[in-house]
Structure 1
Amino acid sequence: MNVPLPAAGAHSGAGRRRTRLTAIMTGIALVGAPLVVGASFGTTAEPQAIAAEAVQPLLSTASTTWKYSDNNTDPAAGSADRLSWTTASFDDSKWKSGKGSFGAKHGAATGIGGHTANTLLTQYIGDSKDDVPTFHFRTKVNVTKQQLASATEFTGTALYDDGAQIFVNGAKVAGLSDERVEQAPEAQRNLMYAGSGASDPAPATFSVPSTALHEGENTIAVALYQDRKSSSDVYFDLQSLAPAQPEAPVDPTPPTDVVLTVGDDESQRRLNWYTATSTDQAVQVAKQADVTGDQFPADKAKTIAASAKGKTTSGEFAHDATITGLEPNTTYVYRVGSDVTGWAATETFATKAFSGDYEFLFFGDPQVGASGNLANDEKGWVDTVDVAEQTYPNSEMLFSAGDQVNTASREDEYDTFLKPKQMRQVPLVPVNGNHDVGSKAYEQHFSVPNWDQEHGKATSATASGGDYWFIYKDVLYVVLNSNNGDTASHKEFVDQVVKEQGAKAKWKVLAFHHSIYSIAAHVNDKQIKDLRAALPTIASDAGFDLVLQGHDHSYTRTYLIKDGELANPDETAAQGTVTAKPGEVLYVTANSASGSKYYDITAPDAWYASVQNQEKVRNYSHIAVTDDSITVKTLRSEQKGDDKPVNSVVDEVKLQKVDTTAPALTVPADGTIEQGAEFDPLDGVSAVDVRDGDLTGSVKVEGTVDTATPGAYTLTYTVTDAANNAATAKRTVTVAAKATPTPEPGEGTGEEGTGQNDAPQSPADQSPASAEQPAADQPAAEQPGHLAQTGATGAALAVGLLLAAAGAVTLIVRRRRA
């Protein structure tokens, strides 16, 4: 059966986004308002006749009073248990009281990303302008036996800036952008800077299992974190906590959020998508050659059942599938969905050759939403991907340095990141950034090959994590979750992967989000310093050649580095070609690909920076891989002044390994030539070097062949490349003596017709004067009357004697007759 093809490249998300917005607002509306069960989200359908009773929240912005501390102290100071302040027995009688929302911006309650704080927090420490790092909140809620029996979990909604941890009765139930907290020593976690650094308060939902609550009074506690001491604002509003409600049915809608990601190797692709309802899903894939007109060739398509990844943080359902057994140099069409939900728009992707040279595109932090104007960020991001793909249409991967979005849980930002049509046509290689990690949405949107959830694991139950690897055309790629600062865990993962897969790879490329060799705002962060102290040695010991990074929204290319130190003091700044010895690594940090945010250079004299650039224009990098080199060319995707147009080059570097391979030298096999023959010792000789090319003209020969003199002669051939790698070969040439023709029988014997006497004289009858004498210096083989000195000499002499004897007998018979 053929099915009409929807328009390729369409990205359906707007209708689904209305659904999400309605769901979020419905959750907020739980405060003091009934929830109509059975209403369709995002539709104009009339509510069903039977409605549920009003659901009363356990707490809400309007009704809940909080005790809070904003005086820059650790509430658990002096206690062996740092969470003692989250328990029911803690004395908070000296804390301040107030109702939400809570916040401050530059010391005022207004202008906090469009919000106004109901209760103003003390933002600064004393008379300084350094922000209080952590604020603490506590409240009590009563839960009835009926409430506990009627719900398996409770759903909370909140707005926060910059990070938070939420506790119920002394146990953590939610972490919001709290990865830095989880990485810190236990004793520091109550009073530290942490969070996403988002410019505006971020919305979040979280779940509390009913088992975390008990009948009667329960204690809710919250730690609110500032990202840094110079953060402009802080905000917290726990809007509601109420029993979770059953899923309301929705009209069937086609899948959304479709994205193509990289597989285990070049013969695989992975697909990821969302649906509004929990239904079985599949991907159908066929060769484009099977398409007739505008019909999807369903009857010729391969159907692959999808794996259900469960309910997403946005209330939808995630699915993924892996397409295997792809053929090289083939274009495919595919669609995802089902007959129940409908099918997403038909898309295409193409494979290239499965070996040889290839190229891919590398993008620095898109972080859409960071500017505060999502529409502008979308325009810049889509334009960069379009410019890059149109300039390099044969690119085989899209490599993102991390921070796909600005706020980990914002699905409208994921919609924007996935907007480029190339996201469904060229496989994506995602990296987990610090703005991605705070929600499970990253894992739900992207499935990756060989994912190890224990190494680089998520630092909280609500975070994303894990390291992964894949091989593409004999290049090993390892991607680390650098949000997890456990470098021993990363080392264990890297060492195991390299041990098992390294021998298959001609190059090794490492990627992680947090640049350890940048020159901008994050260069001296404690987290960066800790990573910089460990990861370079891990990279050098494992034999990585190139490291790709993001995070600092500026461009840096390092000198070659080995074990955290400058590898070659003779390497010059911006050197166009760098030649790496074993253990020497090139590090590249990418600038923003969307233009949503840039950081000024703060470390211009960094010892490791060979090239640095911050023009505050969008960049992308084109990376070309060959057997002999990796070339990283970074370009502007937007114009900078009159002299720097779109696609003008920011930096270009060719990375090659020290050449230890000798040229391939070819010489003829041992052989024999005839004495006096012409001979050229270079005939049939060739030499080719993987780096220097044809070196035939540089081949040197030691030894000679005297073609006039029989004998065996040895020739030694040598050729040396530019790296002083030499190849040597020997051959033996034998000169064989030239043969003299043997006389025919009767020739010179006096037989009739010879013009000689019938009775030739015998040698005994010849006088000395009549016999020819050889020259004293003439070789016997060339003397008159001598046979050639060959293996037939004895036989020829015997024939001559027999002929002479026969002649003598004939002479005697004739005389008698006479």
Structure 2
Amino acid sequence: MLTTDSTPRPPVAASPGRDARHRTVRRTVSGALLVSLTAGSFAAAALPAVAADAPEGSSSIAAAAEPVRIEAESYTGDNNGAEINGRVIDTGVESSGAASGGSRVKNTFDGAEISYADVDFGSAPLSTLTLRYVVNEARSGLNSSIEVYLDEKTEENKVATVAMPATGNDWEAYGETTVDLLREVSGQHTVIVVMHADSKPGEAADYPNYVGNIDYLEFGLAPLPETYLSSETSWAYSDDGTDPSGDGSLAWTTADFAAWSQASGPFGSKRGAADLGGGFVANTLLQYLLDGSENTVPTYHFRTDLSLDEDELARLQSLKATVTYDDAVRVYVNGEKVAGFADGRVDAAENQNLTYAGESAGDPVTGTFQIPADALVAGENQIAVALYQDRETSSDIYFDWQSLAPVEEQPDRPAEITDIVLGVGATEAERNLAWYSDIDVPQTAQLAKAAEVQDGVFPETAVTVETSAGGQATSGEYFRSAALSGLEPNTEYAYRVGSDETGWSAASTFRTQDFDGDFEFLFFGDPQVGASGNLASDEAGWVDTMNIATQTYPDAELLFSAGDQVNTASSEAEYASFLAPTQMREIPLVATNGNHDVGSKAYLQHFNLPNLDLESGAAGSSSASGGDYWFLYKDVLFININSNSRDYASHNAFMEKVVAEQGDKAKWKVLAFHHSIYSAAVHATDSDIIDRRNSMPQKISELGIDMVLMGHDHHYTRSYLINDGQIADPEEQAASESVVAGPGDVLYVTANSASGSKYYNLNTGTDLWWSSVRNQEKVRNYSAIEVTDESLTVRTLRSQANGTASPVNSVVDEVVLSRADDAQDGLDVSASASTRVVAGKQYVSVKVTNNEDVPVDVVVETAYGSKSFSAVQPGDSANASINSRSAAIPAGEATATATADVDGAQLSVTKTAAYDAAG
């Protein structure tokens, strides 16, 4: 299976010994079944694993050796009663909640011995020893340690000395240390443990040379090598621009070619020079141009062998590879493809051994992938790499296989669940979930009202939701998706994902709000975590912006990203940083596909998108993400399209269909895509942006879109109202605080960076006629967008101070968008309500102010009666005081209806005004 975790970075120099087959390291062997020896089961043996069916043509694979754990309290012999250094040895067993098996050995004074008869270590040699113990610094001697012998307490039979550094001043504070055995261990033996500690001067008589409490001893396997391949590995290679198979077949991936050159990496060339810039320097210079031609060599070929013995192969789940490449690469193991990066064009080539492929990504890119164990054989394995130039005039080529690290087979264990994202659903009554786990096991989501979840325990009435999609992610992990439906308004829910068998995630909560009426959501420009080269800094900025925005707008109902969530499409480290804010699991996220997201399936695997149409704005290759989607939220129809695709016909057909079927259900229509067509920074004059600007606005106006949300250019721009690609009203003033849109008029908003990872300077010297407001202070921004029946208000704020004059949450820009037809149908009046007491009676007081230029008639209505006012003059107010005839009244609302004759047309508007309970 293929993983793609691509991160542009300079090559890493290989350290000495990276290809060594065995290294002396301290390491806990993970993933192997442990045999615990407990009282009454002293002769238990490490059970052999059942070998899987071997791949066709491979040798049989032996069962893997497995660690053997000895629970310390299960000893069969001791030297209790012996007097050593004036103390009678009295070793025993006590309970400990934090101990493996719940018990441990106590009273371990200097000279104490315990033994374990008939321990079967199996036939395969074990070579490490891990000791888990407690040494209470305040109550123990100095230099605690144990010596371990097999069968007899002689120097020849000693297999280990293990120092036991102090673990703190708490008898439940366990430590663990691992050492290499003096010689490998196998077969059946009696294990003898002798304890030592020096006396601590001045201590109480009871504890001058106390050793510590012992939990278990674990004899383990020799560590697998840190890596099987590195930058220093020698490769056979061909760079002469010929098909090594001669017939377009993959014969070259398994056959030896004695005439090939032999050298170690990194391999590369930039127009014939070894230094590609950016820290990428080739150790072996590749031929750049075809002989007798000005065209580049289209494809390079590399071969090396990997030797695995049966024990190694039996222990492997996979090998994790890290490869840096430019422009595209394919990897074969024993003649089968196991990975490909930017190689979508290869399949269509007439000769796959001699073709151009890639995406001209700039600097070389680093990718990771997994080679599953079933692709390997015991003995020699052939690893072959095809490296592709993007085009005849590509400037550089690069290949560096940095590492091939073993991933050991794991036993039955809890799944590690990560990357949980609460996504927007198809409506306000739904939420979508997506998550990752490190093993492929059946999982579900569970949902309950938060009040019914006590101490993390879900009630029997919790709803179990089956996954709607899932599979192996590009990172080698496994992704899952589920949809939570049937939600009730104004309700707090708790959810978790996983299973009873392999464990659940921690519970997260979210709250629904009213399913109609006004609401607000938060809009964030390109987080692009990792773009600065300092991922930790980018993550900190992103988390800070998210915290500031949600603390300022605690009732915000959506988190809306303009795209470029990460810098490198397949980088799981960057996705972890993007998903670090806790709000990602509490407020539904709307993710947009950016140009830094599109190059991997990770975008589609991380985000569970509602009403997704993968054929509209389709992905450009089998390894990319694509598709357009939509959802309804209260009175807004949101449409989100993949602007990486310039298949305008498919986008237009999608939008036409969605608007035709859903448009009448919404008051407003908001479109989002990543590549801003009306920005004011460096991308504004890019040829691909000009193409989008010439192709998209007409359809957007035709469909009656009210507002377009965009990113990509890492600065803030608010456009004039645009209609069919032109300024709608030449009289509109720059930076107007409010704009009134006629039919086809659209407001375009480009967001600045929300993480601070990257900013672009404003584009000067170019007629950017569309920009009403442009801003670049190189501080983080976010926008709060308020939705009412009458207007959309976009308020853009700083989440990072720009000096004392522009503190956090100071406003960059604010604009209110309303419609001309709404203004014609209504009148500009305002209403407020309150309560007052007169002679023990409660009155509802209502004030209605006429903001029009003509007189208005007003009718005020409450639960306790109504009053009418005629010809309230411009600027005047009508004041109504209505007796409730009660000593107490509940909170409620008054309504005020105003009517007037404006230019021969009878207009009216109804306003509501809330008042508090009183009495």
**What TM-score results when the alignment is normalised by the length of structure 1?**
0.65
> Does 2:223 correspond to 1:62?
no
Distance 1:289 1:160 in 2: 51
Q: Residues 327-406 of structure 1 correspond to what in structure 2 (within 5 A)?
A: 327-406=488-567
Aligned to 2:323: 159
Equivalent position to 1:726, from 898, 905, 916? 905
Per-residue CA deviation, residues 197-243 of structure 1 (Å, 9 max, x unaligned), is 57x742232779999xxx999985322559x99x9x9743245899x
Aligned to 1:449: 610
- 1:528 Cα deviation (Å)? 2.1
- 1:65 Cα deviation (Å)? 3.4
- 1:492 Cα deviation (Å)? 1.5
Equivalent position to 2:341, from 176, 185, 204? 176
Aligned to 1:486: 647
Distance 1:273 1:626 in 2: 33
Distance 2:336 2:873 in 1: 77
- Structure 2 CA distance for partners of 1:407 and 1:684, relative to 1, 3 Å: closer
- 1:63 Cα deviation (Å)? 2.8
Aligned to 2:399: 236
Per-residue CA deviation, residues 311-366 of structure 1 (Å, 9 max, x unaligned), is 11222211121111111111112222222222212211111100011000011111
Per-residue CA deviation, residues 484-543 of structure 1 (Å, 9 max, x unaligned), is 221211111111111111111111111111112222232233332322222212211221
Matching residue's letter, 2:736: Q
Matching residue's letter, 2:690: K
- Structure 2 CA distance for partners of 1:108 and 1:591, relative to 1, 3 Å: farther
Aligned to 1:102: 267
Q: What's the secondary structure of 1:653's corresponding residue? A: strand
> Does 2:437 correspond to 1:256?
no
- 1:458 Cα deviation (Å)? 1.8
Farther off after superposition, 160-169 or 398-407: 160-169
Distance 1:526 1:268 in 2: 40
Distance 1:433 1:75 in 2: 37
> Does 2:804 correspond to 1:623?
no
Q: What's the secondary structure of 2:714's corresponding residue? A: coil
Matching residue's letter, 1:697: A
Aligned to 2:386: 221
Distance 2:627 2:754 in 1: 24
Distance 1:276 1:216 in 2: 26
Distance 1:728 1:562 in 2: 27
Equivalent position to 1:203, from 367, 385, 388? 367
> Does 2:740 correspond to 1:579?
yes
The structure where strand makes up a greater share of residues is 2
Distance 1:179 1:657 in 2: 46
Aligned to 2:813: 651
> Does 2:407 correspond to 1:407?
no
Matched residue count: 631
- 1:638 Cα deviation (Å)? 0.6
- 1:384 Cα deviation (Å)? 0.4
Contact 1:520 / 1:600 at 8 angstroms: preserved in 2? yes
Farther off after superposition, 532-541 or 200-209: 200-209
Contact 1:662 / 1:720 at 8 angstroms: preserved in 2? no
- 1:553 Cα deviation (Å)? 1.2
- Structure 2 CA distance for partners of 1:204 and 1:295, relative to 1, 3 Å: closer
Q: What's the secondary structure of 1:376's corresponding residue? A: helix
- 1:122 Cα deviation (Å)? 9.2
Distance 2:34 2:532 in 1: 34
The answer for unaligned runs of 5 or more in structure 1 is 1-16, 18-28, 77-82, 125-131, 666-681, 689-693, 701-716, 730-818
Distance 1:516 1:93 in 2: 55
Distance 1:306 1:638 in 2: 40
Aligned to 1:269: 431
Contact 2:327 / 2:358 at 8 angstroms: preserved in 1? no
Equivalent position to 1:282, from 424, 429, 444? 444
> Does 2:722 correspond to 1:561?
yes
Q: Residues 434-445 of structure 1 correspond to what in structure 2 (within 5 A)?
A: 434-445=595-606
> Does 2:866 correspond to 1:697?
no
Per-residue CA deviation, residues 158-188 of structure 1 (Å, 9 max, x unaligned), is 53366525488999986635799999xx9xx
Equivalent position to 1:40, from 14, 17, 30? 30
Contact 2:339 / 2:369 at 8 angstroms: preserved in 1? no
> Does 2:471 correspond to 1:471?
no
Contact 2:447 / 2:496 at 8 angstroms: preserved in 1? yes
Matching residue's letter, 2:369: T
Contact 2:797 / 2:809 at 8 angstroms: preserved in 1? yes
Aligned to 2:457: 296
Matching residue's letter, 2:236: T
- 1:400 Cα deviation (Å)? 0.7
Distance 2:647 2:242 in 1: 27
Contact 2:718 / 2:771 at 8 angstroms: preserved in 1? yes
Contact 2:18 / 2:230 at 8 angstroms: preserved in 1? no
Q: Residues 607-618 of structure 1 correspond to what in structure 2 (within 5 A)?
A: 607-618=769-780
Matching residue's letter, 2:871: G
Farther off after superposition, 96-105 or 43-52: 43-52
Equivalent position to 1:546, from 696, 707, 719? 707
- Structure 2 CA distance for partners of 1:208 and 1:552, relative to 1, 3 Å: farther
Equivalent position to 2:678, from 517, 524, 527? 517
Equivalent position to 2:583, from 422, 447, 450? 422
The percentage of counterpart residues that share the same residue type is 48
Distance 1:222 1:654 in 2: 53
RMSD value, Cα: 5.3
Q: What's the secondary structure of 2:735's corresponding residue? A: coil
- Kindly name which structure, 1 or 2, has the bigger radius of gyration based on alpha carbons: 1
Q: Residues 320-331 of structure 1 correspond to what in structure 2 (within 5 A)?
A: 320-331=481-492
- 1:139 Cα deviation (Å)? 3.8
Distance 1:599 1:164 in 2: 28
Q: What's the secondary structure of 2:753's corresponding residue? A: coil
Contact 2:234 / 2:263 at 8 angstroms: preserved in 1? no
The structure where helix makes up a greater share of residues is 1
Contact 2:323 / 2:403 at 8 angstroms: preserved in 1? no
- Structure 2 CA distance for partners of 1:726 and 1:75, relative to 1, 3 Å: farther
Equivalent position to 2:301, from 138, 145, 148? 138
- Structure 2 CA distance for partners of 1:343 and 1:206, relative to 1, 3 Å: closer
- Structure 2 CA distance for partners of 1:112 and 1:302, relative to 1, 3 Å: farther
> Does 2:764 correspond to 1:599?
no
> Does 2:282 correspond to 1:117?
yes
Contact 1:400 / 1:429 at 8 angstroms: preserved in 2? yes
Contact 1:255 / 1:274 at 8 angstroms: preserved in 2? yes
Distance 1:387 1:301 in 2: 33
- Structure 2 CA distance for partners of 1:432 and 1:84, relative to 1, 3 Å: farther
- 1:296 Cα deviation (Å)? 3.1
Distance 1:602 1:162 in 2: 31
Distance 2:252 2:458 in 1: 64
Q: Residues 690-769 of structure 1 correspond to what in structure 2 (within 5 A)?
A: 697=871, 719-720=900-901, 726-727=905-906
Aligned to 1:816: none
- 1:582 Cα deviation (Å)? 1.5
Matching residue's letter, 2:473: T
- Structure 2 CA distance for partners of 1:190 and 1:142, relative to 1, 3 Å: same
- 1:382 Cα deviation (Å)? 0.4
Matching residue's letter, 1:726: A
Per-residue CA deviation, residues 460-489 of structure 1 (Å, 9 max, x unaligned), is 222122111100002111111122221211
